[in-house]
Structure 1
């Protein structure tokens, strides 16, 4: 956890709140997985391949396979298969690191916005519509909550991956 989250006050959480938020989290997770599975299907990818492509798109430039493994929580062997499939489909290419020719980087090929935009248009409009019902202060609380949940889930992905 970040220092900012550790410095905040801690309040008791009721069993009822745990049940409500757990149910909401599970529902959100399920609908998100289903949505991204549908997007992946439209792109001719598996859901895992699609989300690894998304991580690579948001990575700020070419990434190593090891970095994609860290971000995704997948093993490096599984990521190699993902990269192979994304490369065959034309979404990424392997390139030499200009600073260390021994390293291979994964670079996302130019994204065809016309192909992706219609798939995400409805979600973008929905998020804007939902957010419009909350004040800027409420949005900050929602943002802080979701950011902390996402950061903690990344840690859980790693933890679960390390279990025997």
Structure 2
């Protein structure tokens, strides 16, 4: 029995190809950015997670968001600290806790992302605002499902 939401094999194959190609290009882009920052791609993405937090973040939260083990995150933080991107600070509310505080402004390496921003603008300009809503819904759904399967998994 099929429903109106069953995805035909050819559509699944096409979208699978698009997802793989996008993933590959994204990884290659972030590898290049990370290299220019003197980091590994994993370290660069963990720094991004810390930068997107509203306040200093725990190593445990970075592990939760990244899907990395706490031991791996400790190594990431060590390298980010050595490179001068973060520092460990005591939580003012619980001195037993250590927080990771970003020590650099995004402007220091924002120039590395100008091309990505221009690409996004060029792509979105090819769609109407109504289509943006569908694209946004698609992207949010992909992120939610992927996070649930890969990170929370």
- With the shorter chain as reference, the TM-score category is over 0.9
Map Cα deviations across residues 47-105 of structure 1 (whole Å, 9 max, x no partner). Answer: 00000000000011100000000000000000000000000000000001011111000
Q: TM-score, normalised by structure 2?
A: 0.94
Count of residue pairs brought into register by the alignment: 151
1:57–1:108 Cα contact (<8 Å) kept: yes
Bigger strand fraction: 2
Q: Which runs of 4+ in 1 moved over 6 A?
A: none
| Unpaired segments ≥5 residues, structure 1 | 1-8
- CA displacement at 1:123 relative to structure 2: 1.1
Cα-Cα RMSD:
1.5
Matched, 1:88 2:82: yes
Deviation, 1:155, is 1.6
* Residue ranges of structure 2 left out of the alignment (5+ in a row): none
> What CA distance in whole angstroms lies between the structure 2 residues aligned with 1:82 and 1:131?
34
Matches within 5 A, 1:1-164: 11-111=5-105, 113=107, 115-158=108-151
Contact between 1:83 and 1:92, CA under 8 Å: does it hold in 2?
A: yes
* 1:157 Cα offset (Å): 1.9
**What SS is found at the alignment partner of 1:102?**
strand
1:10 positional shift: 6.3
